[in-house]
Chain A
Amino acid sequence: MAESFASLKESFVFNFIEGARWKYITNGLLVTLKVTFFALLLGIVIGVVVAMIRSSYDKTKDEMQPGPGKWAMTVLNAVARLYLTVIRGTPVVVQLLIGYFVIFVSSTNTVFVASMVFGINSGAYITEIIRGGIMSIDPGQFEAGRSIGFNYIQTMRFIIIPQAFKNVLPSLANEFIALLKETAVCGYIGLMDLTKGGDVIRGRTFSAFMPLIAVALIYLILVIFFSWLVGKLERRLRSSER
């Protein structure tokens, strides 16, 4: 027992302390958090815009007057649907490779490329979350806004989206947690995230157990921590309702 503990300690020192190899882990963790955070931000922006396009089209297509407005809405809606279909119909690793080798070829900033790709990817899922949130709002809220004289966009901005957003906050937080794990494939484009950091140590020390288990533990702790936060948030939101 004491012997195995000693060898664990030795392995720990060898993998992380010598050559300051722990920096691969901490720097990687930072990259992972950065990519996740920026991707979520971008995803929310895309999600809100696409959700508004989709639900406004569904709501107004029957009564819109023919003309450039209707034509523009039809095109926008078609683009939105194409986006949703393509993003949700292809693996994120493939999107990442296409993003790096085809779309953002001129960029050497892999954090930027990964944030863009994961943001565009999660935007498709966040669209559905926000759309659900919009549909959960009492139609009377929409009518009240319109009856005051707000146009469609203003009604969304001041009245519907703030309420929908509050309703979907827990789902968005869960999307953050899912993203945190999904970004582990960033190594495919040479990004030194948490997973890649552990893998680099494995390559240097030729011992797989210690670095990979450490990486897994860090993910696990982060996920447990953020899930706990979401739980707290959900309870707070529920108690603030009537």
Chain B
Amino acid sequence: MKRVRGMVLWVATFLLMVVMCVPGLWVILSAFRPNREILAKPPVWVPETLTLDNFGKIFGWGAEQIAIPVGSYFLNSMVIALTSTVIALGIGMAGGYAFARFRFRGKNSVFLGLMLLRTVPGIALSLPVFMLWSRLGIIDTKLGLIIVYVSLNVPFTIWLIDGFFRQIPLSLSEAAQVDGCTRWQAFWKIEFPLAKSGIASAGVFAFLTSWNEFALASQLTRSTDSKTLPVGLLDFTAQFTIDWAGMCAMAVIIIVPALILTFLVQKHLIAGLTFGGVKG
């Protein structure tokens, strides 16, 4: 009976994973196939030819070339995602610590307010943000996107990090202070190391949000000064054609750093998700 149950669960999990993974795998596979095979009718399921031409095209070492400044896009994406993540983490740590440790007036309302901010769909903000940013003259700048991403991510980082600090008994910091630490030292030597997995998970989520975000970035960027990789995908669409192969190759370029990052902090991420998850 138990075995049957186990089997059923296993099959169900497998099917779910297939459903979730197939589109991703298809994109990765298509990145290594020529355009005509991708568009073939009836579809060619098992690739007949595998090639690096699509990447060659993008990076400019193939016979066929399309002018896409993928280097600039990559750099923009990195700068914007990293900067906004670092800032969101800084604010998240300060805010999370404050919510977890201090009593102040209106604490619950402020916290609720922050959480409600998360319920506003980003796209609903695009028009007001566009108007505001153009007044401020920060359309098509990295700064403009960084501000947007920081504000998108901060409620989440505060919420997650708050949960982690809450789980650390107050007496640890007190013991450290009795042991000779200032409050600041007690934070960095005791509370920060213990909340590290939570902070790492918050960082990964913030980074991925910024790294993958498309809707707002496509409104607020124009040129190689600020265009990010997801927006760069649009460069593969011309008036009447879409270069699916190129687009898929570009998608792989977007996916790889995200995957690497996730693997690097995987250990923390699992601890983070389960640890933070039970805080109630």
- Check if A and B associate: no
Chain A residues with CB under 8 Å of chain B are none
| B residues apposed to A, CB below 8 Å | none
